[in-house]
A and B are shown apart, each in its own frame.
Chain A
Amino acid sequence: MATTVAAPSVTGKAHKYESGIWSWLATTDHKRIGQLYMYTAIAWFVIGGIEALFIRSQLYGPNGRLVSADTYNQLFTMHGTTMIFMAIMPLSAAFFNLLIPLQIGARDVAFPRLNAFSYWVFLAGSVFMNVSWLIHAAPDGGWFAYAPLNTRQFNPGVNMDFWVIGLQILGLSSLAAGFNFVTTIINMRAPGMHFMRMPVFTWAAFVTQFLIILAFPIITVAVTFLLFDRFFGTNFYEIAAGADPLLWQHLFWLFGHPEVYILILPAFGLVSEVLPTFSRKPLFGYPVMVYSLILIAFLGFGVWAHHMFAVGMGPVADSIFSVTTMLIAIPTGVKIFNWLGTMWGGNLSFKTPMLFGIGLVGLFTIGGISGVMHSSPPSDLMQTDSYFIVAHFHYVLFGGSMMGLFAGVYYYFPKMTGRMMSEPLGKWHFWLTFIGMNLAFFPMHFAGLNGMPRRIWSYDANQGWDFDNHLSTYGAFIIAFATAIFLYNFLRSRGHGALAGNNPWDAPTIEWSMPSPPPDYNYAKIPTVTSRYPMWPQQGPTPLSPPVPTAGGDQPLPTYQTAEQLGIHMPTPTIKPLLATMGLTLAFVGLIWHRQIPIILLGGAIFIVSLYAWVLTPLEPEH
């Protein structure tokens, strides 16, 4: 009875938010929020890539003078910060949003409005940090921002103020999302979806959330100290006051090493979905894949000081961190071999997602091997702060994370939009990226071994570095061209790609049972799960992949019954999370902008009022 009375007002309200800009500003739908994350992350990926092109142009030959040394510092700092916090992490977050509820058989995340808040805060933090470009005062202390070099004394401008506050805002976004997804995965699994039946991507996401909620508080503390030092004159990094110059490094890398797994594990998860589908075989060693994820996460907190061998911690500490670092290579190697085992004897079909997936397996391995080389302190002392390190982490972050994330984009684009991306353009994208990336980053190993230091603005001729740098610059521009093809393919396919249908790849996991794109309520009836691969018959999939759809680009997407018609209660759209974000951002703007107390208080007040309005309004219309 209560339902019939409430229904008309619900209909009236829902219409207002169905389409147009309001529907995006007020959305609490995890799939829409996932798309917002994806578009935004790709935009920052392009901007971070443009920064890289400036860097590579500057370093093309000796004595480059394209940009000033000061600008160069800003470029490499923002390239790293952007790619890590605004491209790879949010692109992973896009997949957490899009996939976790679908893969566990839920209607949404546990806290849909908090989810919207996470996105808006991420957007605010990333814009905040980049606004600094407009006054030519972008952060310039490296993405690791070593204190005391970044205290007010040695870095008096507002550059690092933007970094400190921006990172604080971005951290808040990740933490809020972390609590949300942990709760979602623990508590919203469909009947029968035991932990050991969960798709491996959801497992990777689950482990990543624990890394986030345990590692981000540490960087929050480190950055808060820096913020107080810079704004209020405290002494945390003040050497003259007796501070330890290594405090920052310890806190930063205690966060920083788990962070590298935050960057790579989601990509591992995506590839663990892609390889079985295109090998026509279940994932090899599912339980071992899950245990190795957990083991990597545990060990990830015990290796941070391998970033600090050069500071002179002494032989005991060096040895311990050397051993733990070598140990962590074992579960990582296990994953590589399990992926090989998945492909071994399979009927491989080299669709674009598969190419990128194999790309990760190969290229990440190269980066992993050079990583194990740094685990030995004597060899690390030779390599540290050289281009060898730059080569290493681009192989793991670009060859690993980005390859995996691209695999995920091509693989899940049909689920997200209902349409296929172009296969030929996808193949062009892959091969150009593959060639460009190896051309850009492999010569850096040699430049580094020949003594070229990181973070230098310019170098003299006749040091044997010219040729390697030429190649790297060519490679960077090839990657840029490949990315342009990707962007065209991505944007065009949204409206013109072939109609995908429910399961274009004949993939095994449960999200492929629903229509593409899924209706806002996801499953019309919450499924009951009986196996790891419910979409494949018990005896295994057909040995050959079905033909991928290529037609229907001019036809409209299918329509479904609305949630109301099915009697499903969905959250009411609301802009309160956006308002709360605006208040929060305003407070931080007041802090950086001459410490305007009234603005800080106004922002704080808007935040608290919006938060109260949000928390005191029920999630769904009363029934």
Chain B
Amino acid sequence: MATAVAEHHAEHHYTSTGLPHTKIAIWAFIGSECFFFASLISTYLIYKGRSVVGPFPHTPWTDPSTGHVYHPILNIPVTSTSTFVLLMSSLAMVLAHAAVERSDHKWSRIWLLTTAALGATFLGFQAFEFTSFVHEGLKITTNLFGSTFFITTGFHGAHVTAGVLWLITMYFIDKKRGLGPRDAVNVDVMALYWHFVDVVWVAIFTFLYLLQ
């Protein structure tokens, strides 16, 4: 009986490449997203150094009308920490995927939750960063740096948020019925998305934060 069902299942879900549809779709999606983030990062780079008023990312600025001195906005040590947190979440994601594949419910739940928690921590860092930047005088409307910086990192943050919601949803499904090998592909697709969002962050960190 079980074999018959499995066979029927296999024939019903025949694909030309042998890969599940979601896997092809996520790669197409990632290709599309590359162009999306490339456009955002390119705009940042094109506008780099073109802001007519401060504050600036890496250099101090004195407001000529008030004489107020604005510190460089970016805080590389803090963002390096959050970058490390996000990269560690990718490691946790790999472990979660491995646990799902061997139907190890205890560890799959632990690692899914850990990945989500690390993602949420990264978002916490970003919230802290954004509020402190606004506090120091940089809003999205202040200058070209503010506009391009907030929109690029903001869209990335939105992607992380979606990923965290996805992870939490998977965690609850795992809790409800236990994720097994047949769910591995869904976790795999989620992992691809998550790693991609991490890689985008590495690009953003390099071009927006480290590049002087």
Contacts and interface: CB of A to CB of B under 8 A. Distances in A.
B144 interface: yes
Interface stretch (B30-38, B74-82, B109-117): B30-38
A235 interface: yes
Nearest to B12: A569
Contacts of B36: 217-218, 220-221
Contacts of B24: 110, 182-183, 186-187
**Chain A contact surface mostly:** helix
Given A228-B140, A235-B143, 15 more contacts: A110-B25, A175-B32, A182-B24, A187-B17, A187-B19, A214-B32, A217-B33, A217-B39, A220-B36, A225-B43, A234-B147, A241-B51, A242-B50, A242-B51, A623-B8
B43 to A, nearest CB: 7
Interface in A274-316: none
A213 B28 contact: yes
Nearest to A220: B36
Contacts of A228: 140, 147, 151
A70 interface: no
Interface of A: 1-2, 110-111, 175, 178-180, 182-183, 186-189, 193, 213-218, 220-222, 224-225, 228, 232-236, 240-244, 247, 251, 526, 569, 612, 623
B108 interface: no
Interface in B1-47: 1, 5, 8, 12, 14-17, 19, 21, 24-25, 28-29, 31-33, 35-36, 39-40, 43, 46-47
Interface in B107-149: 140-141, 143-144, 146-148
B contacts with A: majority SS: helix
Given A179-B32, A221-B36, A247 B43 contact: yes
B39 A221 contact: yes
B52 to A, nearest CB: 5
Contacts of B51: 241-242
Contacts of A179: 25, 28-29, 32
A232 B140 contact: yes
A362 to B, nearest CB: 36
B42 to A, nearest CB: 9
A221 B154 CA distance: 13
24 contacts: A2-B5, A111-B25, A179-B28, A183-B28, A189-B16, A214-B35, A217-B39, A218-B36, A220-B36, A221-B36, A221-B39, A221-B40, A225-B151, A228-B151, A234-B141, A235-B143, A235-B146, A236-B147, A241-B144, A243-B50, A244-B47, A247-B43, A251-B39, A569-B12
A604 to B, nearest CB: 12
Contacts of B146: 234-235
B16 A188 contact: yes
A189 B146 CA distance: 48
**Which one of B36, B52, B147 has the greatest number of beta carbons of chain A within 10 Å?**
B147
B141 A235 contact: yes
B207 to A, nearest CB: 15
B43 A217 contact: no
Contacts of A224: 151
| Most A CB within 10 A of own CB, among B1, B19, B43 | B43
B156 to A, nearest CB: 13
A251 B39 CA distance: 8
A213 B29 CA distance: 8
Given A213-B31, A241-B52, A236 B43 contact: yes
Contact of B25 (A183, A221, A233, A247): A183
Contacts of B46: 244, 247
A232 B1 contact: no
Interface of B: 1, 5, 8, 12, 14-17, 19, 21, 24-25, 28-29, 31-33, 35-36, 39-40, 43, 46-47, 50-53, 140-141, 143-144, 146-148, 151, 169
Contact of B32 (A188, A216, A232): A216
Nearest to A214: B35
B144 A243 contact: yes
Contacts of A244: 46-47, 50
B73 to A, nearest CB: 16
B208 to A, nearest CB: 15
Contacts of A235: 141, 143-144, 146-147
A182 B43 contact: no
A167 to B, nearest CB: 15
B39 A242 contact: no
A182 B26 CA distance: 11
A183 B40 CA distance: 26
Given A183-B21, A235-B143, A244-B46, A217 B15 contact: no
Given A213-B31, A213-B32, A217-B35, A233 B141 contact: yes
A180 B39 contact: no
Contacts of A233: 141
A234 B140 contact: yes
B148 A236 contact: yes
B18 to A, nearest CB: 9
Contacts of B144: 235-236, 241-243
A180 B1 CA distance: 34
Contacts of B47: 242-244, 247
B43 A221 contact: yes
B43 A110 contact: no
B86 to A, nearest CB: 22
B106 to A, nearest CB: 24
Contacts of B25: 110-111, 179-180, 182-183
Contacts of B147: 228, 234-236
A217 B32 contact: yes
A499 to B, nearest CB: 34
Which among B19, B35, B146 has the highest number of chain A CB atoms within 10 Å?
B35
A225 B43 CA distance: 10
Contacts of A182: 24-25, 28
A174 B166 CA distance: 24
Contacts of B169: 612
Contacts of B40: 221
Contacts of B12: 569
A189 B140 CA distance: 48
A221 B16 CA distance: 34
A186 B17 contact: yes
A582 to B, nearest CB: 21
B1 A178 contact: no
User: Which residue, A220, A242, A251, A612, has most C-beta atoms of chain B within 10 A?
Assistant: A242
B198 to A, nearest CB: 19
A241 B31 contact: no
B51 to A, nearest CB: 6
Nearest to B4: A1
Contacts of B141: 232-235
Nearest to A180: B25
Contacts of A217: 32-33, 35-36, 39
